[in-house]
Structures are given as C-alpha cells and as structure tokens.
Homo-oligomer: A and B are copies of this chain.
C-alpha cells in the first residue's frame, strides 16, 4: 500500500518545478520502462508496478532492481499515473546532466528554436537517434526535456541523444561550423548535396525560426511544396531534412 506522501511525491513530478527540484522524471509503460532499464541510460530510483509486470521481469533485472520495485494495485497505479490509461508500470529516474560543450566537428547537430509541443520534441529526439545525431541544441523557450509527454514520445532515445538548452543567438554566433536554416523560401532540399558537418536549425511550429537566428545561418533550405497544405509538422520536416542531408 502506497503512503499518502509517496502518492503526493509521484504526482508532484508531473510539474516542471518539482521535477527540477528533485532532478527526477517519470516514465510509464512496459516497453519504455524496460528499454530504459536495459540500456542503463538513466539511474532508476523507484519502480511501481502491477504483479504481472514484475512476474515477467528477467532474473538479471530483478537482481539489479529488486529492492527498488514496489508492487501496486490497479487503483494505486491509477492514482500515480499521468496517463489516461495507466499501463502496468511507472518508474522514476534521475535526470542526467547534459554535456554542455560536446565536439560538433564532423557531425550533424540539430538546433531547435522554440519547439513548443512536447510530442514534437520527443519525436524529434527519436528521429535524431534514428539518424545517428548525437546532439540537439534547444532555445531556452523550447519545451522541457523531462515533460512526461516528451519522455513517452521519445521512447528510449531520450537517453541516447545529448540535449542542451542555451541562448541560441549567442551559441550560433560562436560556431564556425556551417549553419543551415530550414525556412519557407530557400534552396530546395532535393538540390542540396549531402552534409557531413553542420547545424540544422528547425523553427517553432507556428512562427518558424526567429529572424535574428536566420541571419546567423550560412544557408537556407526548403522542403518544396507541390500541393496546398499550409505547413508541415515540425517533426516530419526534421525527418525529411535529416534523411536527405545524411543520405544525399
């Protein structure tokens, strides 16, 4: 039986302020939790799970995590879960300190200017992980990395990509590596040759990239439109651009 204080603590991690102060975050569901545990990507603090999840845990994992696993009943999981349909297990992990100054040479890095939708940020992290991108640099107003919706949609890619938050104008001004702004009017992506080193800047869902940041970029690229849709989803645009620049 979970104590009132435990329930309160776990519920409090739905709020950014409390996640910041405890330096923890929540992950839910058998697939995500198991992958995070297997990869050892984050330090696990506690696991709250239904008996059916615990029974299926491989012996090796029970040895490592056994003392941190608490069996709960359905109604308890419902209380602590942030999901509309709780799914067997909720785990609390320690947040990781990002590497603030990784080496950007000979690789492509992503730069995000105020991505607001947590689902988009999570999906972009997963796309980055698919294409072997190691670093994402986010503006200070980009949605928070450990928001439960970011965590859920990034899958375990969250632990494999280094995500830094900083002032983008200052950051880009300092970089000597080529910077590509993705905008509505630029060089059609299909005419771009492959890129081995560079920063790809992706803008806010509604407003695009801020003018002062575009001015700091060396090249403008565009996904050519053939039909009539007003815009492409930011994560979809990121996937299209990365696939082309990595493989062209």
Q: Which residues of A contact B (CB under 8 A)?
A: 35, 119, 123, 126-133, 155-157, 160, 188-190, 223-233, 235-240, 243-244, 246-248
Contacts and interface: CB of A to CB of B under 8 A. Distances in A.
24 contacts: A126-B229, A126-B233, A127-B236, A128-B227, A129-B228, A130-B229, A131-B226, A132-B227, A155-B231, A157-B229, A160-B227, A160-B228, A160-B229, A188-B247, A189-B247, A190-B248, A223-B243, A232-B239, A233-B239, A235-B236, A236-B239, A239-B239, A240-B243, A243-B243
A126 B247 CA distance: 25
B189 A236 contact: no
Given A130-B232, A131-B226, 7 more contacts: A119-B119, A127-B232, A128-B227, A130-B225, A155-B230, A160-B227, A188-B247
Contacts of A189: 243, 247
Contacts of A238: 236
Number of this chain's copies in the complex:
2
**Considering residues A227, A238, A248, which has the most beta carbons from chain B within 10 angstroms of its beta carbon?**
A227
- Chain A contact residues, majority secondary structure: helix
A108 to B, nearest CB: 10
Contacts of A190: 243, 247-248
Contacts of A228: 129, 157, 160
B123 A236 contact: yes
B246 A244 contact: no
A180 B139 CA distance: 39
Contacts of A247: 188-190, 224
Given A247-B189, A248-B190, A227 B131 contact: yes
A67 B128 CA distance: 50
B233 A246 contact: no
A235 to B, nearest CB: 6
Contacts of A239: 232-233, 236-237, 239-240
A230 B228 CA distance: 33
A151 to B, nearest CB: 15
A246 B232 contact: no
Contacts of A233: 123, 126-127, 235, 239
